[in-house]
A and B are shown apart, each in its own frame.
Chain A
C-alpha cells in the first residue's frame, strides 16, 4: 500500500478515567470507503471526532497526508464532517448553509453560486436554494448536510451515523446514494455506524471495533466469511459459534462428530471455536447428516425459514433454509468444508476482554 491518507498512530483517549480508545492504530488509504463498525460505546465516534478535530487524543498522533495534524483545530483541517443530527444552521436558508464554508474561504460570488447549484444537483435537490431548513424532511436535511460538506472539496468526508435518524426505506435509498456520491467524487469516506448491514453494503473496508480496540479490519467479504474472533462473528450477521477440537489440518470435531474443513495450521487436537453461518447449514435426511437433531422451532421469514435444531448435546443450531422441516421431526445436519470457519480460542484474559459481553 502506498502512503496512507490518514494514519492514526497509538491513539489513546479517556473520559473521566474511562479508557475509550487504547493505543489505536489505523491507516486509511486514499479514495476508499472505510466504515468504523461496532456497538455503542466501542469508541468509533470518538475515533471520528479525533480525526475531525473535535476531540484531542490524550496520546498519539493523527497523520494526514504525511503531516501531523494532531494539534490543528477543526477549521484548519482539510476534511469535513456530516453530523449525526445534520447540525444544519437553522437561521440560514439552504443556499446559505451550503455557501457557509465557501464564504469563510472568501470564494467569489459566481463560484459559490455554481457550487451550490452543482451540490444540490449532486444530492438530487435542485431548486431548493431558498427553502428553510425546517421545511425539509429528515432525509432531505441529511442530503443538504452532505452537500454543505462536499462543496468544500474535502479530501476526506467523515460521516457520523448519518442515516441513524431515517426510516428503513429512506436509509436503503441513501445507502445507494452515498456509494454513488463516493464514486463520483473520488474522495475518501470514513463512515461510523452500528448497523452491520449498512457497513457490509457500502464499505471497501470495514473496521470492527469493541471496547476501544480494533477487532478486525478487512473487506466486507473477509469480515463476514472469515471472522477472526467470536465477537466479530457474533456482531456481523447471525452465526452458530460452537466449541470444537481441531483433530488435524482440515478436520474438526464438533460434539463428537467429525467435519471436513479447509483450515490449516491450528495444530493437532487443539481446542478451537467454530463459526458456522445459519444459511450454510444444509438440512438432510438423518441418515445422511454428520450430526442429527430435532427441529424445535420454526418461523417463516419471507426469504427463508428460520429454524432451531437441537442436537442431543443440547446445543440449539440456528438454521436458515428454504427447505422446511416441521417442528418435532428428526433431521440431519450437513456443512460443506469451505463453510466452516475455525478461530483460535482466546489465549489470555486480555483477549477475553475483547470478546462478547452480553
Chain B
C-alpha cells in the first residue's frame, strides 16, 4: 500500500499544472471580460480572418504531415531492415539536431532559402533561374517537415522493429510477392506507429506560430499566430482562450484516434 503514496507528488503536480490550467482555458474561453458566460470567443472562429487562418493552418499541416509520412515510411523500412544499432543509434541521429536550438535551426533555413541564399546560389551556378523561396507557404511546409520529421520516423521505426522477420517470411512463403507483403503485412501491422506519427506531426504543425513567423514573413497568419498575438499583443485572453478551445477539438480528435489504433502504446516515439 505504501507504494501508492509515491504517486502522490505526481498526481498533485498533474492536477495543479495540467488539469487546473486546462480548466482555466475553458473558463476564459467561455466568459467575457466581466466574467459572464458567452460563446462569442469560440464563435469568433467564424470571422473571415480567423476562418482563413484556420483553413491555411489545416491545409499546411495536412500537407506537411503527408510529406513526413511519405519520407519517413521508406526511411524507417530501410533502417529496420538494416538493423542499424537497434534503437539507440537511430534515436541518436534524430534527437541530435534538437541540441541545436529549434529557432536557430529554423533560422538557418532562412539563410538557405533567401533570395541571395545558398540554394539560389547553387541554382545560379548551374545557370538555372533563381526561385523566390522564402516567405511562401512552401517555406513554411519545409520548416514543418524539417522540424517534425523525427516525430514521424521514430514511432514508425519502433513499430516496424517489433515485427518478427518470420512473419514476413511466412507471407513470402505463402506466395505473397514484395508488393503484396507490403500492403497486407507491413502496412496493417505498422498502423499504430503511423497513427502516432501522424498525430505527433499534425498537432504541432497545426498550432505552430514560430515556423510561420520565421519562414513565412509577416504576411502569412496561421491560427497559432492569431492566438499568440491575442496573448502577447492584443491582450484579449478570453478571445485567445476561445480560439484555443477550437484547436483543442482537433487535438482531442487526434488523441481519440491514437487511443483507438494504438491501444498498447506500441507506437510511442521514445
Binding site for B on A (CB under 8 A): 52-54, 73-75, 80-81, 83-85, 87-91, 100-101, 104-105, 148-149, 152
The interface residues of chain B lying within 8 Å CB-to-CB of A88 are: 167, 170
Indicate if the CB atoms of A83 and B175 lie closer than 8 Å: no
Indicate if the CB atoms of B176 and A87 lie closer than 8 Å: no
CB < 8 Å A-B pair total: 62
Indicate if the CB atoms of A89 and B185 lie closer than 8 Å: yes
Assess whether B188 is interfacial by the CB under 8 Å rule: yes
> What would 11 A/B residue contacts be, using CB atoms closer than 8 Å?
A75-B172, A81-B173, A84-B166, A87-B170, A90-B189, A91-B189, A91-B191, A100-B171, A100-B176, A100-B184, A148-B170
Indicate if the CB atoms of B173 and A74 lie closer than 8 Å: yes
Assess whether B101 is interfacial by the CB under 8 Å rule: no
Indicate if the CB atoms of B166 and A85 lie closer than 8 Å: yes
Contact A75/B189 with A83-B166, A85-B164, A85-B166 known, Cβ cut-off 8 Å: no
The interface residues of chain A lying within 8 Å CB-to-CB of B172 are: 53-54, 73-75
Overall SS of chain B's interface: helix
Indicate if the CB atoms of B176 and A83 lie closer than 8 Å: no
Q: Which 10 A-B pairs have the closest CB atoms?
A: A101-B174, A87-B166, A74-B172, A87-B170, A104-B175, A83-B166, A91-B188, A81-B173, A87-B167, A75-B175
Assess whether B44 is interfacial by the CB under 8 Å rule: no
B162 to chain A minimum Cβ distance, whole angstroms, is: 10
Assess whether B180 is interfacial by the CB under 8 Å rule: yes
Contact A75/B177 with A91-B188, A100-B171 known, Cβ cut-off 8 Å: yes
Assess whether B169 is interfacial by the CB under 8 Å rule: yes
A208 to chain B minimum Cβ distance, whole angstroms, is: 25
Give the residue of A81, A100, A101, A152 whose beta carbon is less than 8 angstroms from that of B169.
A81
User: How far is B170's CA from A53's CA once the two chains are assembled, in angstroms?
Assistant: 11
User: How far is B177's CA from A105's CA once the two chains are assembled, in angstroms?
Assistant: 11
User: How far is B178's CA from A74's CA once the two chains are assembled, in angstroms?
Assistant: 11
User: How far is B217's CA from A116's CA once the two chains are assembled, in angstroms?
Assistant: 62
Binding site for A on B (CB under 8 A): 164, 166-167, 169-177, 180, 184-185, 188-189, 191
User: How far is B169's CA from A84's CA once the two chains are assembled, in angstroms?
Assistant: 12
Residue of B nearest to A98 (CB): B174
A285 to chain B minimum Cβ distance, whole angstroms, is: 59
Indicate if the CB atoms of B174 and A104 lie closer than 8 Å: yes
The interface residues of chain A lying within 8 Å CB-to-CB of B174 are: 75, 80, 100-101, 104, 148-149, 152
B78 to chain A minimum Cβ distance, whole angstroms, is: 20
The interface residues of chain A lying within 8 Å CB-to-CB of B166 are: 83-85, 87
Residue of B nearest to A83 (CB): B166
Q: Considering residues B164, B173, B184, B188, which has the most beta carbons from chain A within 10 angstroms of its beta carbon?
A: B173
Give the residue of B164, B175, B188 whose beta carbon is less than 8 angstroms from that of A87.
B164
Indicate if the CB atoms of A74 and B167 lie closer than 8 Å: no
Indicate if the CB atoms of A105 and B175 lie closer than 8 Å: yes
Apart from the given pairs A54-B169, A87-B167, 4 other A-B contacts in the complex at a CB distance below 8 Å = A88-B167, A89-B167, A100-B176, A148-B170
User: How far is B174's CA from A73's CA once the two chains are assembled, in angstroms?
Assistant: 11
User: How far is B176's CA from A342's CA once the two chains are assembled, in angstroms?
Assistant: 51
Indicate if the CB atoms of A89 and B175 lie closer than 8 Å: no
The interface residues of chain B lying within 8 Å CB-to-CB of A74 are: 169, 172-173
Contact A83/B171 with A75-B176, A89-B185 known, Cβ cut-off 8 Å: no
The interface residues of chain A lying within 8 Å CB-to-CB of B191 are: 91
Indicate if the CB atoms of A101 and B175 lie closer than 8 Å: yes
The interface residues of chain A lying within 8 Å CB-to-CB of B170 are: 81, 83, 87-89, 148
Q: Considering residues A80, A83, A152, which has the most beta carbons from chain B within 10 angstroms of its beta carbon?
A: A83
Indicate if the CB atoms of A152 and B175 lie closer than 8 Å: yes
The interface residues of chain A lying within 8 Å CB-to-CB of B184 are: 100
The interface residues of chain A lying within 8 Å CB-to-CB of B164 are: 85, 87
User: How far is B74's CA from A339's CA once the two chains are assembled, in angstroms?
Assistant: 64
User: How far is B174's CA from A80's CA once the two chains are assembled, in angstroms?
Assistant: 7
User: How far is B184's CA from A81's CA once the two chains are assembled, in angstroms?
Assistant: 19
Indicate if the CB atoms of A80 and B173 lie closer than 8 Å: yes
Residue of B nearest to A49 (CB): B169
User: How far is B176's CA from A54's CA once the two chains are assembled, in angstroms?
Assistant: 13
A91 to chain B minimum Cβ distance, whole angstroms, is: 5
The interface residues of chain A lying within 8 Å CB-to-CB of B171 are: 89, 100
The interface residues of chain B lying within 8 Å CB-to-CB of A52 are: 169, 173
User: How far is B170's CA from A89's CA once the two chains are assembled, in angstroms?
Assistant: 9
User: How far is B175's CA from A152's CA once the two chains are assembled, in angstroms?
Assistant: 9
User: How far is B180's CA from A87's CA once the two chains are assembled, in angstroms?
Assistant: 17
User: How far is B171's CA from A152's CA once the two chains are assembled, in angstroms?
Assistant: 12
Q: Considering residues B166, B167, B175, B191, which has the most beta carbons from chain A within 10 angstroms of its beta carbon?
A: B175
Contact A104/B180 with A85-B164, A91-B188, A152-B175 known, Cβ cut-off 8 Å: yes
Indicate if the CB atoms of B176 and A104 lie closer than 8 Å: yes
Contact A75/B173 with A83-B166, A84-B166, A85-B166 known, Cβ cut-off 8 Å: yes
Q: Considering residues B169, B177, B188, which has the most beta carbons from chain A within 10 angstroms of its beta carbon?
A: B169
User: How far is B189's CA from A149's CA once the two chains are assembled, in angstroms?
Assistant: 21
User: How far is B184's CA from A32's CA once the two chains are assembled, in angstroms?
Assistant: 34
The interface residues of chain A lying within 8 Å CB-to-CB of B175 are: 75, 101, 104-105, 152
